[in-house]
Amino acid sequence: MTLKENYEFFEVNFDELYKKYPDKFLVLKDRAVINAFDSFELAADYGISTYGLGNFSVQQCAPKDQRTVFISRRVMFAGV
């Protein structure tokens, strides 16, 4: 699943998700909520340690005008 597909899942199901996870940071994978956390950092740490970089997404479960935007890209470094 792509980040776009996870985000579309989140948007389509926002009302239901917000009732269950208000103001939480959701770890999303394969169009499903895997876990919910109180901070972006906790959600990202869980996702990275469980699935590895680039294999999940984190979405703040809050109304659009109250969401904090975090942008991250998978980066690989090569020795010089």
Is residue 78 a part of any domain in this protein? no
DSSP 44-60: HHHHHHHH-TTS-EEEE
Tens digits of residue pLDDT in 35-68? 999 999 999 999 999 999 889 999 999 988 887 7
Is residue 10 a part of any domain in this protein? yes
Tens digits of residue pLDDT in 18-27? 999 999 999 9
Is residue 25 a part of any domain in this protein? yes
β 57-60/32-37 pair status? unpaired
User: Hey, what amino acid is at 26?
Assistant: L
56 Cβ contact list (under 8 Å, min separation 6): 6, 27, 28, 29, 34, 47, 50
- % of the chain surpassing 70 pLDDT: 82
Alpha helix ranges (H) inside 1-80: 3-12, 14-20, 40-51
Domain of 14 in residue numbering reads as 3-66
Is residue 80 a part of any domain in this protein? no
Is residue 61 a part of any domain in this protein? yes
CA nearest 31: which of 55, 58, 5? Answer: 5
Is residue 75 a part of any domain in this protein? no
At 71 the pLDDT is 53
Q: Does position 72 have pLDDT exceeding 80, yes or no?
A: no
**Count of structural domains within the chain:** 1
